[in-house]
């Protein structure tokens, strides 16, 4: 007997990195029984101390959960977790919901849905925006692709993780929406970095300029979040550059397939590639300012 129509209780979570750890914690706080797997067990220690149940592999976790959330690094990781004999789809219970919150390829989201459907397993692609702060505060924006009935069943999980949750279409629609998000962010962060570099180079008090322009038309989430970090030399990752490069690559591939040119995105990607080549791929995206400094190592 499947679990369709039953209340979701046992929730699997795979990927307890910068964002996943906070997100998993919110599910514990919301009263769900949390089951964990992570390639690095040490990163799950705090959650296990809070009552989460550790599993040694994906298959054993999948078999006991009403729903499983994944947020891993790259599409290749998504494939490994979902597909194959030891993956989620092969081992999940009929009626279970599998929710991938990784930023990944829309085509892979559709493949996962098509593979899961004949087994009576439901899927959603639900990438998020808001970074480590949104994950920590439970205020993520969640972009969802999949069937409406599955989306509504999963809403108690999404409600524990974010403030804005929208179903945007069928399988793959969530990933396409996340590409829109990343396209906008890529150009915006480049503009913030160049604005801060200009302010410094012409001798203005950059903090004072930031205070003024933040109340005008230039104000926005990226200016508020990234500019103070840039000016303070805080390049710690809220979102890794190497993950952002992955996202921009997916967006450019999808755009090319649709015959759409995105020159701003291509330029932003090239600038981040320069930064990664200097050894800063594990910095946060605000580290783009380094390229505009006299010494990018500062």
Please provide the DSSP assignment of 29-60 as one string. Answer: HTTPEEEEE-SSGGGGHHHHHTTPEE-SSHHH
Domains 10-169 and 176-292 alike in fold: no
The answer, yes or no, to whether residue 104 has pLDDT greater than 80, is yes
Q: Centre a 10 Å sphere on the Cβ of residue 5 and count the other Cβ atoms it contains.
A: 8
Domain 10-169 is of which CATH architecture? 3-Layer(aba) Sandwich (3.40)
Both structure tokens of 103: 């930023």
Quote the pLDDT of residue 11.
98
Quote the pLDDT of residue 3.
58
Quote the pLDDT of residue 208.
97
Taking the CA atoms of residue 49, residue 51, residue 54 and residue 58 in that order, the dihedral angle to the nearest 10 degrees is -130
The answer, yes or no, to whether residue 157 has pLDDT greater than 50, is yes
Q: DSSP class of residue 76?
A: H
pLDDT digits 0-9 by tens, 21-48 = 999 999 999 999 999 999 888 889 999 9
pLDDT digits 0-9 by tens, 113-151 = 999 999 999 999 999 999 899 999 999 999 999 999 999
Quote the pLDDT of residue 41.
84
Residues 6 or more apart whose Cβ sits within 8 Å of residue 194 = 292
Angle at 101 between CA 1 and CA 48, to 5 degrees: 75
Mean of all residue pLDDT scores within the chain: 95
pLDDT digits 0-9 by tens, 195-207 = 999 999 999 999 9
3-state secondary structure of 9: coil
Mean pLDDT lowest for which of 5-9, 88-92, 96-100, 203-207?
5-9
Quote the pLDDT of residue 4.
58
Quote the pLDDT of residue 1.
34
Strand-pair category, 10-14 with 67-70: parallel
Instruction: Judge whether 197 and 271 are in contact, CB under 8 Å.
Output: no
Point out the catalytic residue in the list 21, 178, 229, 269.
178
Quote the pLDDT of residue 293.
87
Instruction: Judge whether 143 and 127 are in contact, CB under 8 Å.
Output: yes
Max Cα–Cα distance, the chain, nearest Å:
70
Asked whether the whole model's pTM tops 0.85, one would answer yes
pLDDT tier at 269, thresholds 50, 70, 90: very high
Give me the residue spans of the domains in the chain: 10-169, 176-292
Give catalytic status of residue 269 as yes or no.
no
Quote the pLDDT of residue 2.
41
The answer, yes or no, to whether residue 86 has pLDDT greater than 80, is yes
Quote the pLDDT of residue 5.
54
Q: Which CATH number fits domain 176-292: 3.40.50.970, 3.40.190.10, 3.40.50.720, 1.10.1040.10?
A: 1.10.1040.10
Cα distance between residue 11 and residue 67, in whole Å: 5
pLDDT digits 0-9 by tens, 160-188 = 999 999 999 999 999 999 999 999 999 99
The answer, yes or no, to whether residue 298 has pLDDT greater than 80, is no
Cα distance between residue 134 and residue 240, in whole Å: 15
Cα distance between residue 246 and residue 273, in whole Å: 11
Contacts of residues 154-158 at CB distance under 8 Å and 24 or more positions apart, as own/partner, are 154/8, 154/67, 154/97, 154/99, 154/124, 154/126, 156/8, 156/30, 157/8, 157/11, 157/27, 157/32, 157/67, 157/69, 157/99, 158/126
Integer-rounded Cα radius of gyration of the chain: 20
């Amino acid at each position: 007997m499947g679990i369709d129509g039953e209340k979701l209780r046992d929730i699997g979570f795979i990927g307890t990195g910068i964002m996943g750890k906070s997100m998993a914690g919110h599910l514990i706080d919301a009263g769900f029984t949390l089951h964990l797997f992570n390639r690095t067990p040490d990163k799950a220690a705090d959650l296990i101390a809070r009552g989460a149940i550790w599993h040694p592999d994906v298959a054993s976790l999948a078999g006991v959960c009403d729903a499983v959330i994944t947020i891993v690094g790259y599409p290749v990781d998504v494939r490994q977790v979902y597909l194959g004999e030891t993956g989620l789809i092969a081992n999940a219970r009929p009626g279970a919901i599998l929710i991938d919150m990784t930023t990944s390829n829309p085509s892979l989201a559709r493949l996962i849905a098509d593979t899961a459907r004949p087994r009576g397993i439901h899927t959603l692609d639900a990438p998020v925006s808001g970074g480590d702060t949104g994950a920590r505060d439970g205020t993520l924006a969640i972009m969802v692709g999949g069937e409406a009935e599955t989306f509504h069943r999963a809403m108690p999980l999404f409600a524990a993780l974010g403030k804005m949750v929208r179903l945007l279409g069928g399988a793959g629609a969530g990933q396409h929406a996340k590409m829109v998000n990343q396209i906008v962010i890529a150009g915006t962060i480049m503009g913030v970095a160049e604005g801060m570099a200009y302010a410094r180079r012409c001798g203005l008090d950059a903090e004072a300029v930031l205070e003024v322009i933040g109340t005008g038309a230039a104000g926005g989430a990226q200016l508020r979040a990234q500019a103070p970090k840039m000016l303070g030399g805080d390049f710690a990752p809220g979102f890794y550059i190497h993950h952002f490069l992955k996202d921009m690559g997916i967006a450019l591939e999808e755009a090319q397939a649709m015959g759409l040119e995105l020159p701003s995105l291509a330029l932003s990607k090239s600038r981040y590639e320069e930064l990664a080549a200097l050894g800063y791929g594990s910095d946060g995206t605000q580290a783009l300012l380094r390229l505009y400094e006299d010494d990018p190592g500062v």
